[in-house]
């Protein structure tokens, strides 16, 4: 097995790892104030669950990208592809937008969501507005996902 494949797999792994980091940090930031609110007002669960779950999408985007890379590499067919180092680097590079986009946007989306918990606490009827604000941050993870997928499509094996 050549270094090309190693690099390609590293890329797919990084997409999941970095975006997953972003999501887990983001969710933990967002979920902590939710627990505080729930201790006083358990009925608010539905509202704050959405806020806390929002930064979770980055991890999913990372996974989707990795899966796309796996399909492109044909790993599931059982035939091990022969890649040059240059091709491996291409895969690695293509996976970075979703990885870093997910890492950073996940953390910051978590912060916006955490602030939104105050809205859910004081104005439960308006908590959807806080959700929309939090989703603004997610845009850049989505763009990362899109860039990664388009780049992966473009790589010729």
Residue written as tokens 């979920």?
A: 31
Among 44, 143, 155, 157, binds other proteins (CB under 8 A): 143
Binding mask 86-125 toward other proteins (x if CB under 8 A, else -) reads: ---------------------------------------x
Q: Rule CB under 8 A: say whether 37 interacts with other proteins.
A: no
Q: Rule CB under 8 A: say whether 15 interacts with other proteins.
A: no
- Name the residues that contact other proteins, by CB under 8 A: 50, 53-54, 56-57, 60-61, 63-64, 67-68, 76, 125, 128-129, 131-132, 135-136, 138-139, 142-143, 145-146, 149-150, 153
């Amino acid at each position: 097995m050549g270094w090309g494949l190693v690099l390609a797999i590293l890329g797919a792994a990084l997409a999941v790892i970095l975006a997953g980091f972003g999501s887990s940090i983001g969710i933990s930031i967002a979920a902590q104030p939710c627990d505080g609110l729930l201790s006083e007002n358990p009925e608010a669960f539905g509202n704050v669950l959405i806020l806390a779950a929002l930064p979770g999408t980055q991890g999913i985007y990372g996974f989707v990208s990795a899966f796309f890379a796996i399909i492109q590499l044909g790993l599931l067919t059982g035939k091990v592809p022969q890649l040059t180092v240059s091709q491996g680097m291409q895969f690695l590079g293509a996976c970075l937008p979703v990885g870093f986009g997910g890492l950073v946007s996940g953390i910051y989306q978590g912060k916006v969501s955490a602030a939104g918990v105050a809205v859910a606490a004081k104005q439960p009827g308006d908590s959807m507005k806080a959700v929309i604000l939090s989703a603004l941050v997610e845009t850049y993870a989505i763009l990362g996902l899109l860039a990664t997928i388009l780049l992966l499509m473009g790589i010729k094996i």
